[in-house]
Amino acid sequence: MPITAFSKQQGRELDVEQWLRLHGYAAQGDAELVGVPNALRALASADIECSCCGAAGAVLVGRGRGRATGRAVTQNHFRFRGPDGSNPHDPLCDYFDEKKVSGSEYLTNFSTDRSALTRAIRELVCRAIQGGLLSQRDMRRMRQWFLDVKSQHAFTMDVSADLLQWCVDLWSAKAYRPVGQFPFRPEHGALPGFDWQAAAEQEWARRNADLFDLCGRQRVHFHRRWIERPLKIAAQRAGETLFDPTPLQTQYEAATTLARFAADYVFDAGPGAAPIALQRHASEWGPTGHALLAFSALLLFLRDWDLEAGVALFVHVRTLPPAEDDLAGNLIGLNPFHDFEAWQVIRVARLIGAQRTDRRPAQEQVADVLKDLRVQHAHWEAARSAA
Ligand SMILES: [Zn+2]
């Protein structure tokens, strides 16, 4: 669901509304774009290309409304179709599958604060262009930079639902319990009501300590909730060659930090006006955060990913006079960090898949450990009786 795309004629990235206004059509009164003349649609198709891969065949799509509520559920966006209805995106384009990129987000409720934020970011982009702080060339350079870094880390999606579930089982085996926060000793089994199952799970987790090190280094947790999105991505993109964005960890952290700061000052009313969704962790921002993260990434890119310099640039842009021409450009459509947390989980799952020594289901392995612990206990008891 690209919100912005590149106009060849204008030499800049624009959203649907901006592009239509440049061609004399005011979209405000026509949220669903039903009144756009066919000639203008044809012009869009010839003029606009995907800002990620250069695909042609743009279709203007108006705000979608939920059948039951009549409320807007999607905002104006571009869709790309070949003359025969095929998908014209490069298979490695972020928008290769326009619906899959945003997944269920494609139809999530499109709240008003989200569109206000989108508009506010657009205005800041125009302001910065007007003030000479950034240009269309910078945006293209940033996109290229991301593409280059990611393509150095391309891989074939080979993570299965079973592997992700295995990681969750391993993670939950280590869950805090009083028993097993220390190594098992055979005499523990002599305790009345000793929890053998918990002890076996903990022991199994301990025997796989090196796999937990992988999670710790990447700051990934395999809670059930954390694998929902990775499961979806892994199933949808199975067998495809994909870019791994996770080597951009430092840049991602800088961008989310700047974005969190910027969210408080995008609106004149200050921190109170920031969308509630952005007060949560960046991994939960969803589409609300796309525009802000894309903008933050661009500011940081222009300052070599130095956070303080990026914040200073944001303050500079924010305190410039408002843009006289809010058609100067846009970049909100492509958040280079979309689904970053999910990709991290997928990356660590792949590492675990390659490093684990036993691929059998967790339950089977824990049952074996349990048998082993009981044997150790029986030996201890026999030795004690013999003494
Ligand atoms: Zn594309």
pLDDT digits (tens, 9 = 90+) for 139-181: 888 888 887 888 888 889 999 999 999 999 999 988 766 555 6
Q: What is the pLDDT of residue 104?
A: 36
Give residue 205 CA to ligand 1 midpoint distance, Å.
43
Q: How far is the CA of 55 from the centre of ligand 1 (A)?
A: 5
Distance, CA of 258 to chain centre: 16
Q: How far is the CA of 86 from the centre of ligand 1 (A)?
A: 13
Q: Please report which residue ranges of 266-306 form alpha helices under DSSP H.
A: 290-301
Best CA proximity match to 51, nearest among 294, 215, 301, 261: 294
Task: Please give the pLDDT value at position 175.
Answer: 73
Whole-angstrom distance, CA of residue 66 vs CA of residue 109: 8
Cα-to-centroid distance, 94 and ligand 1 (Å): 6
Question: How close is the Cα of 124 to the center of ligand 1, in Å?
Answer: 25
The rounded Å distance from CA 2 to ligand 1 centre is 9
The arithmetic mean of pLDDT across residues 317-332, rounded, is: 86
Each domain of the chain, given as residue ranges in start order, spans: 1-110, 159-238+357-386
Cα(89) to ligand 1 centroid in Å equals 4
Residue 48 Cα to ligand 1 midpoint, Å, equals 11
Report how far residue 44's alpha carbon sits from residue 97's, in angstroms, rounded to the nearest whole number: 20
What does the alpha-carbon distance between residue 178 and residue 199 come to, in Å, rounded to a whole number? 10
Placement of tokens 């649609």 in the chain: 41
Report yes or no: 330 and 14 within 8 Å, Cβ to Cβ.
yes
Mean pLDDT, the chain, whole residue set: 86
Instruction: Give pLDDT, residue 363.
Output: 94
Residue among 159, 338, 165 at smallest CA distance from 234: 159
Q: 273 C-alpha vs ligand 1 centroid, how far in Å? A: 34
Statement: residue 19 has pLDDT above 90: yes
Predicted pLDDT at 103:
40
